[in-house]
Amino acid sequence: MPHLPLKLALGAIVLAAATPAFAIDDGPRAYFPVPVGTNNINLIGITQKTNSSLDPATAIKGADATVDVGVLQYTRAFSLAGNASALAVVMPFGEVRGKLTLSGPLGNNTITRESNSSGLGDMSVLGVFGIVGSPAMTRQQYAQFKPGFSLGALAMITAPTGAYDGDKLINLGTNRWAFRVGAPFGWAIGDSYLSPRLTTIEFVPSVTFYTDNDSPFRAGNRSQEALYRIEGHLTHNFNRAFWVSADLTANTGGETTTDGKSDKNSKTWTGGGLTAGMNFSPAFGVSATYGGILSGNDAAPEGDGFRINARYTF
């Protein structure tokens, strides 16, 4: 198969940016295998109206926030025990602005708290490791491989590097560590990953664990229960350059405890969106996602947002 179609197809299936800043999902085709030695640089822009900061697990009932961030990610694909794997470093930056309106102590007046936070967000390091159906391949082997079912493992560590001030209601950073593990799996239907009519069915179940925040707003300590998520995507290529995806996610957990007292704010929500991707050259492609929260309980994230992802492959 010619070299050019191979590079054109990579934009649709290379490890995409796993952006916890976007409350809807990580993104379609985010964990597909690519040839060993592939490098990717992603620059992502995200804007959303919501009731949380950069991390949807920080949702606050009654908050009204605007998140405008960029995310820079570098990804390197390699072989591990004969399977396709990748490591990525993710750095968000930008601004979050918000306010919270509360009833006064007598219930007949209101108090509004406003805050904004800008700078760098919490940096993440992400690893994705093939287990079944994703052997490590050269570019030539990759072009001839007929895909099917695949299963992998993901591990992500998010460090508290972001801008944070305990006197602010909403912050760009979270002042805590987060550890996420998951098992992306799915089916690719087509003669090869390079097929101009490739269809994929994808699922990414995962769980995120959190350390304590020792400087929360107007408190001494806040812990948070694990957050469980499963996201799904149905994607289809219309030709070698253009593809679309229907995206859905379901989430539950994340109840917080502040200074030893439960906040009774376990979060349950579903989100959905649509993604379209286009490759403009062998090395450059763009995808755009619009989505929002479809339903949720009183403590869940709210709102909608837009994400655009520009990818350079080399």
Domain ranges, ordered by start, for the chain = 3-313
Distance, in Å, from the CA atom of 36 to the CA atom of 166, rounded to the nearest integer, reads 44
Tens digit of each residue's pLDDT (9 = 90 or more) over 86-101:
999 999 999 999 888 7
Dig out the tokens for 142 from the structure.
């990759």
Cα gap 13→16, rounded to integer Å = 8
pLDDT tops 50 at residue 293: yes
Q: What is the pTM of this model?
A: 0.90
Q: For a pLDDT cut of 90, what percent of the chain falls above it?
A: 73
CB 263 within 8 A of CB 255: yes
Residue 305 has pLDDT above 70, yes or no: yes
CATH for 3-313, among 2.40.160.40, 3.40.630.40, 2.60.120.260, 3.40.50.300? Answer: 2.40.160.40
Question: Residue range 65-75: average pLDDT?
Answer: 94
Q: Which 8-state DSSP code applies to residue 165? A: -
CB atoms within 10 A of CB 282: 16
Average pLDDT over residues 97-125: 79
